[in-house]
């Protein structure tokens, strides 16, 4: 039998997690799960509600929505109450509010439960901030991607312009630095590297190089797994 492992890819905004996780999943024939999209979906639901940014309001909203991630041919499709919001959640106004919303305890509890359910049979590459520390602390392979803030802002600028969102380099850089600060200093499950995660600095390497690095390690672990399980 072919054993399927869990690969956790964490790191700050723009460190290349999504692109890397998507390619690695495709090459291993695994499912790719972008958990940031789930927090973005909650943020969109809150924005649409027109209610104040108050924890109780957001808690009520999250109890009354459904978020589904579907494996598309080119990308992960995100559904909020069965409506496709894949593009909408990339807008700067969502990015602006997603950090405070993702710091709320009840929201995290709900999202983490859904993420564990989605990954429980293995065969997933999940990217986020707390996958290796909280969601799947026993993941067989944990990667922590880093890159300097300027390089990350450059990548975001390119990504956003591809989907027709125009923001200046300085605005993006500022938002990245603010988000790093917020995500790393929140009380619940802050962004941090798991002790047993492999840190990979992607500032000066190509996407291909970083994917090959992860796939090499994954294949070795899968091989060991298969031998062990006979």
Shortest distance in whole angstroms from residue 118 CB to ligand DC? 12
Using CB under 6 A, pick the residue from 175, 183, 200, 202 that binds ligand DC.
Answer: 183
Supply φ then ψ for residue 181, to 5 degrees: -60, -45
Going across the sheet that includes 31-34, the strands are 31-34, 124-128, 6-10, 141-146, 198-201
Q: How far apart are CA 66 and CA 163, in angstroms?
A: 25
- 86 part of the interface to ligand DC, by CB under 6 A: no
- Beta carbons of 104 and 55 less than 8 angstroms apart: yes
Residues of span 88-107 touching ligand DC by CB under 6 A:
98-99, 102
Least separation in angstroms between residue 224's CB and ligand DC is 27
Contact residue for ligand DC among 39, 46, 136, 144 (CB under 6 A): 39
Does residue 76 bind ligand DC (CB under 6 A)? no
Which one of the spans 52-60, 69-77, 123-131, 165-173 is the region binding ligand DC (CB under 6 A)? 123-131
Tokens 């291909």 -> residue: 208
Q: Which is nearer to ligand DC, 177 or 222 (CB)?
A: 177
Segment contacting ligand DC by CB under 6 A, of 61-69, 71-79, 127-135, 167-175: 127-135
In angstroms, the Cα distances linking 30 to 21, 26, 70, 149 are: 10, 6, 13, 30
Whose Cβ is closer to ligand DC: residue 76's or residue 102's? 102
- What is the token pair recorded at 55? 């924890």
**Could you tell me how many residues make up the chain?**
230
**123: contact with ligand DC by CB under 6 A:** no
């Amino acid at each position: 039998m072919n054993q399927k492992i869990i690969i956790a890819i964490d790191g700050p905004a723009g460190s290349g997690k999504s692109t890397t996780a998507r390619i690695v999943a495709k090459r291993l024939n695994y499912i790719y799960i972008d958990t940031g999209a789930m927090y973005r979906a909650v943020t969109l639901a809150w924005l649409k509600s027109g209610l104040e940014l108050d924890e109780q309001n957001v808690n009520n909203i999250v109890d009354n929505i459904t978020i589904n991630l579907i494996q598309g041919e080119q990308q992960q499709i995100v559904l909020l109450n069965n409506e496709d919001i894949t593009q909408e959640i990339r807008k700067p106004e969502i990015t602006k509010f997603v950090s405070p919303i993702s710091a709320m305890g009840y929201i995290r509890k709900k999202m983490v439960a859904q993420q564990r359910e989605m990954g429980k049979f293995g065969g997933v590459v999940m990217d986020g901030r707390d996958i290796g520390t909280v969601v799947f602390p026993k993941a067989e392979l944990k990667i922590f991607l880093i890159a300097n803030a300027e390089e990350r802002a450059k990548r975001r600028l390119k990504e956003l312009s591809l989907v027709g969102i125009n923001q200046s380099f300085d605005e993006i850089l500022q938002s990245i630095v603010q988000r790093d600060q917020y995500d790393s200093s929140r009380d619940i499950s802050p962004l941090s590297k798991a002790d047993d995660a492999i840190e990979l600095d992607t500032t000066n390497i190509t996407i291909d190089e970083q994917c090959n690095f992860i796939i090499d390690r994954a294949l070795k672990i899968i091989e060991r797994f298969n031998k062990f399980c006979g």
